[in-house]
Structures are given as structure tokens and as C-alpha cells.
Structure 1
Amino acid sequence: MSRQNNHFLRHTLATIAYRFQNATHNTSDDFGDFSPGQDTRTVSEVINHMYQLLRSSGMLIKEGSFNSNPSEKLTYQPEIERFSEELVNFDKILIEEELDMPTAYRLLQGPLSDILTHIGQIAMMRRLDGNPVKRGGYSSAPIAIGQFSYF
């Protein structure tokens, strides 16, 4: 087992935090109710799903299995806060628990990549709502392991 696996995943979490905050920064509370069309999730529902993915990933590490029980749905700002807190909690798990490579791969290719996809959806929904994300260079962003507040 290697701490390198955790180091890489912790950087991925910091990347998720940066991109998530960039996608949700300077938005109004009513943006949480935005949906691009019939039978699609609202922004708040997307964030709720992202929270469930992260929470279940922590349970996989701690308890050995994913928890697929739905979480309570909150309004927009509380969903943002809960997801942000779960990023910090998951980072603490990665500090405490040394992961093997198959588990690290599973987390990266599954829930963490899914969360990044959903952040892209939120950014797209912002553009559709008339409030596009400010342009910037993600590859040169000031992302640091263990840092979860950027804006």
C-alpha cells in the first residue's frame, strides 16, 4: 500500500473543491432550482447526488461497501455547504486510511470522476441560466492538497 495513492486522490479532492466553488460562486439561491428541461435534475439535486457519491465513497473506505441510501434533500446553499463539508471529511478519511491501488483506481474512475462530470453540468447550467462561469485556466489554478476554500 502507498500513501502516493492517497496523495493523488487528495489532490483530486482539492481540484473538485476548486472547480465546484468556481461553478457555484456568485450565483443566487434561485439557481438551485434551475433545470435545463423536463425530467432533469435541478442544480440542488445534482449537488445532493454529488454529496451522496462522496459520502458513499467514505463509507466504502471505512466500512467496505457503498451506501446507496438517499440523503435528505436540502435547498441550494445548504446543499453547497454540506457537499463542501463532505469534501473535508473525505480528505480526513484519506489522511487516516491508507488505500491500495485497486481501491484508489475504483474511487477515481467511479465516484470522483462522476462528481467532476456533474460539476461540468452545473457550469453548463449556469451558462444556460445566463450567468456563465468566468473563464480561467484550470491547469494553473492555485490548487493545494488540504485546501478547500478558494473564493
Structure 2
Amino acid sequence: MRNAPGGFAEFQAGEGARTPVEILAHIGDLLDWGLSMANGERKWNDSKPLPWDDEVNRFFAAVKKFDDYLASGAPLQASLENLFQGPVADAFTHSGQIGILRRMAGSPVKPENYFKAEIQAGRVGADQIPPKREF
């Protein structure tokens, strides 16, 4: 999502394929769904995509809400296994699709070594520590 070029949101890989902004909206829906399962609401929403920057903000807000709930100690109304094999795994899959579309659109994401990344619980927003090692 970071440094996506202008026009990327509407990049069309092929007829009938979701655009990056449609995928990002779906990821936001998945994260909202995960939170709703965790707190017992179990509610799905199929959102109409917002402009790219708004969807990016929505994504980070959804990650924060989900993360805050998981870290709160509140009782989970769904197992961690189901939360991670369902909405979280699905969101990871779709984030990979966005990465592939970036490459297809001529603006690949620079690879980095996530094993060496500085991970900090609760730091889930766009403001991340720069990569320690890019390939």
C-alpha cells in the first residue's frame, strides 16, 4: 500500500479481476469480520470501495481495532485458530495479490527480510520502522 503510484487503485489485471482498491476494501471487510467474530457479533459487510487513500486509512483502522480487541484480554467468542485460519489468512492472501498487482503495474514493492524486521506489539499503523535489510 505504501507509495502506490497514482492510478494503481484502478489497475485492471484482466477482465473480471478485482482492482487493487476492491481487494483492499475486501481486506478491510475481512478484518471487520474477524473483529465481529472475536466479540461475538459475527457480522459480514460487503463494502463499496472508497478512494485508495481512504481504504488505506480504513485498513489501518481495522487492523488497530482488531489488534486492540485481541490484546484487551476480553473473552474471545471465536477460537484464535478460527480467527487466524479464516479472516486473517484470507487477508494475507489478498495482501499478496496486491503485491503481485503492484509488480504487474510496473511499481513492485521492494522486498525486505521480515525475519529481521523490528516487530513491536501494538504498532499496527502506517508508521513503521524502516526495513533493517532490503534484498
Pick which of 91-100 and 104-113 moved more.
91-100
1:64 deviates by 4.2
Corresponding letter in the other structure for 1:50: I
1:98 deviates by 3.5
Question: What does residue range 4-83 of structure 1 map to in structure 2 within 5 Å?
Answer: 24-65=1-42, 67-83=43-59
Q: Which 4+ stretches in 1 moved above 6 angstroms?
A: none
Structure 1 residues 111-130: Cα deviation after superposition (integer angstroms, max 9, x where no partner): 10111111111110000001
Q: TM-score, normalised by structure 1?
A: 0.77
Match of 2:133 in 1: none
Q: Give secondary structure in 1 for the equivalent of 2:45.
A: coil
Structure 2 CA distance, aligned partners of 1:92 and 1:64?
Answer: 16
Match of 1:89 in 2: 65
Structure 1 CA distance, aligned partners of 2:46 and 2:97?
Answer: 21
Unaligned segments of structure 1, at least 5 residues = 1-23
Structure 1 residues 92-141: Cα deviation after superposition (integer angstroms, max 9, x where no partner): 111222338x6100011111011111111111000000111112111111
Determine what percentage of the aligned residue pairs are the same residue. 32
Structure 1 residues 4-51: Cα deviation after superposition (integer angstroms, max 9, x where no partner): xxxxxxxxxxxxxxxxxxxx1111241111121110110000010000
Corresponding letter in the other structure for 2:54: P
Q: Give secondary structure in 2 for the equivalent of 1:63.
A: coil
CA RMSD of aligned residues (A): 1.6
Q: Give secondary structure in 1 for the equivalent of 2:18.
A: coil
Structure 1 CA distance, aligned partners of 2:45 and 2:59?
Answer: 16
More helix by share: 1
Q: TM-score, normalised by structure 2?
A: 0.85
1:73 deviates by 2.0
Q: Is the 8 A contact 1:51 1:83 kept in 2?
A: yes
Structure 1 CA distance, aligned partners of 2:67 and 2:45?
Answer: 22
